[in-house]
A = this chain, B = another copy of it.
Amino acid sequence: MTSSVNIDPGASRRLVIVGGGEDRSGDMLILRRFVELAGGGDARVVVICTATTEPEELGAVYEKAFETIGVSEVAILPIASREEANAPDVVSAVERATGVYFTGGAQLRIAAILGGSQTDTVLHARFDEGLVIGGTSAGAAMMSTTMILGGSDTVPSVGHIRTGSGLGFVSGVTIDMHFAERGRLSRLLAVTGMFPHEVGLGIDEDTAVVVEGNHFEVIGSGAVTVVDAGEVTSLHTPVDDGPIAMTGVLLHVLPSGYSFDLSTRRPVITNAADDVEDTAQRD
């Protein structure tokens, strides 16, 4: 039962932040990347189902997925109460893990049940030592310091937006998920208009950002839309209802293979990005 995977204490902090709807039965590209970062076949994966009220069903899906990928040790933890979040067997399972994956559901459940618990403390301590943390949908939203709790997808109104404290594994960003699928530009714009010091990350379904230190790479079938309101030259955010006004928002759409530097707030342009393919039909 001793660890065969050494977690490098000096390693960059690593997160796999998924926009929801990741493939869990096909090529499972995103889950495979998570496992690879967590030690491959030797990974010890813990799945935390706190966000969902149907932990058994969802837990079984992830158990099967990670076993198919070849993870020998998978533990499914429902953690549905603060008592459970402080239970010694739960805490020691998280302590042993090389990768912890958060399912979808309601992000407020994650904060309210885990926030400040023994599990939360151990998660942060182990994260600093190299534990890989993954999360999808609600499990993605809670990664940041300030998280989106709710708000109409399509009405760009400050009065509709609710935010709160996430678990804070990454700072300087606000994460929205199911981004293209639910048309959430307005909502992410409203949040970045309120908090322009945070870069907005709109992550499509079956798409993830793989954070290593201050840098992230996009993987998966969709794209990540980066909304940077840091250079907004004019802003009008009504206190309650009514649409916002913002001029000079910078936007980047980054599909698989593209990277972004969170410290400079700039995309990392690689060779792939220099290609401008001909969009016209070729004969």
Contact indicator A250/B253 (Cβ below 8 Å): no
Chain multiplicity (copies): 2
Near B by CB (< 8 A), chain A positions 5-43 give none
Q: Find the B residue at minimum CB distance from A237.
A: B279
A153 smallest CB distance to B (angstroms) = 7
A32 to B277, CA, bound (A): 46
Q: How many residues of A contact B (CB 8 A)?
A: 55
- Is A115 an interface residue when CB atoms closer than 8 A count as contact? no
Contact indicator B180/A155 (Cβ below 8 Å): yes
A211 smallest CB distance to B (angstroms) = 19
A29 to B184, CA, bound (A): 27
A219 smallest CB distance to B (angstroms) = 12
A101 smallest CB distance to B (angstroms) = 24
Contact status of A282 and B239, CB under 8 A, knowing A234-B273, A244-B255: yes
Binding site for B on A (CB under 8 A): 153-156, 158, 180-186, 189, 194, 204, 221-223, 225, 227, 233-239, 242-256, 258, 267, 269, 272-279, 281-282
